[in-house]
Amino acid sequence: MKSKFTVLILFFVFISAFVEAQVADSSLVQIETLDGNEFLGTIVKEDALIIVLKTANLGEITIQKKDIKSRIQVLPRQIKEGKLWFANPQSTRYFWAPNGYGLKKGEGYYQNIYVMWNQFAVGVTDNFSLGGGIIPIFLFGGGPTPFFITSKFSIPIEKDKINLGAGALLGTVIGGDTGGYGMLFGMSTFGSPDSNLSVGLGYGFADGDWANSPLINVSGLVRFSRRGYFISENYFLNTDGEVKGVLGLGGRWIIKKAALDFIFFSPLGVDSFVIVPGIGFTIPFGNKSR
C-alpha cells in the first residue's frame, strides 16, 4: 500500500511542476474552410466579408467568411515549436470524475466507457451544464436499466488557474425494485485545462438513505505531447475508521477531435494486489469555443 501512495505523491508533484499560467490572445486563431483546409495565424484585418490572416508559412492570406467552416481561438500555450497542440476534447472530466471546468454555452460531449456506460452533457450557459446517461442492459437480454441525469455549476475564480464546481447526479433503475440513487458533489481545480489537480467531495444516497461518510476524490492530468496526457483518478472512503479506496493511473490520447482514455485501477484495503483496466472515449459536439 505504501508503494501505491508513493507513486501517487510523485505523480502529483509532477503535475504541480507542469501547471502553467495562460493568457488568451484573441487575434491568434485556427480557421478551417469548407474544403477541409486549416490555417493557423494572427488576424491582421477583419470586416463583414473577409479575414486577412498572417501565417508562418504562407504569409498574409485572405479568406472569404462565406468559406469558413469553423474558427477557433487559440491560446499561446497551444503553440509548441510552431505547431498547434490539439485542444483537450474532454477538459471538464478525467476518466470518470468531473473537475471544476465547465462546458461553454452550446458545447457538448458524448462519453462511452466499456460500451455499457453512455453519458452526454451540454452547456446551457457558460457556467451551467445539463446531461444524462444510461446503462442499456435491456439490449443484452433484458433486465433493470440504470438511468441518470447530471448537472454542474462551474465558477472560474481566476481564469485558467482556479475553478470551482458543484453539481449532482440523480438516477433511478427502470424496471427495477430499487428506488432512486445519486450523489451531490463539489470540487476545486487548480491549473490549466491541460495540466491540473482537483480535489473533490461527494455524498451519495440510495433508496432515501445517505452515506455515513463522504467520498473524497483526488485527480489530475498532465499533458506531455501534442496528443497525449497522463491521468490519475483516485477515490478514498472512510469506512468504520478504516480508509479504503481506489487508485488509478492512465492516460488520454487525442484522435483528431475525439479522445481515447485508458486507465488501470487498483483497490486499497484488500489483501492481494489487483489491477482492473478501464477504457473509454469521448466525442465533443456543438460549438467548441476553446
- Whether the predicted pLDDT of 194 surpasses 80: yes
What pLDDT, on the 0 to 100 scale, is given for residue 281? Answer: 94
Which segment of 7-16, 95-104, 184-193, 261-270 scores lowest on mean pLDDT?
Answer: 7-16
Question: Mean pLDDT over residues 209-221, rounded?
Answer: 94
Domains of the chain are 2-21+88-286 (2.40.160.40), 28-74 (2.30.30.100)
pLDDT tens-digit series, residues 5-36: 454 545 544 444 444 433 344 578 888 899 88
Q: What is the pLDDT of residues 163-177, one digit of tens each?
A: 999 999 999 988 777
Q: Which of 77-91, 152-166, 192-206, 225-239 has the lowest mean pLDDT?
A: 77-91
Q: 265: which 3 cell numbers? A: 485501477
pLDDT in tens, 230-287: 999 999 998 877 888 999 999 999 987 899 999 999 998 777 889 999 999 999 998 6
Torsion of CA 211, 263, 8, 10, to 10 degrees: -150
pLDDT for the residue 233 = 97
Q: What is the pLDDT of residue 41?
A: 85
* pLDDT (average), residues 130-146: 83
pLDDT digits (tens, 9 = 90+) for 221-231: 999 988 899 99
Rounded to the nearest integer, the mean pLDDT of the chain is 86
> Sorting pLDDT into bands at 50, 70 and 90, what band is 124?
very high
Q: What pLDDT score was predicted for residue 142?
A: 67
Residues in the chain: 290
pTM over 0.95: no
Task: Write out pLDDT tens, residues 57-73.
Answer: 888 999 999 999 888 87
End-to-end CA distance of the chain: 40
Tell which wins on pLDDT, 8 or 122. Answer: 122
Please, which pLDDT band fits residue 137 given cuts at 50, 70 and 90? confident
Task: Tell how strand 59-64 and strand 68-73 pair up.
Answer: unpaired
Q: Which residue type, as a one-letter code, is found at position 260?
A: L
Residue 121 confidence (pLDDT) above 60: yes
* Distance separating alpha carbons of residues 207 and 160, to the nearest angstrom: 39
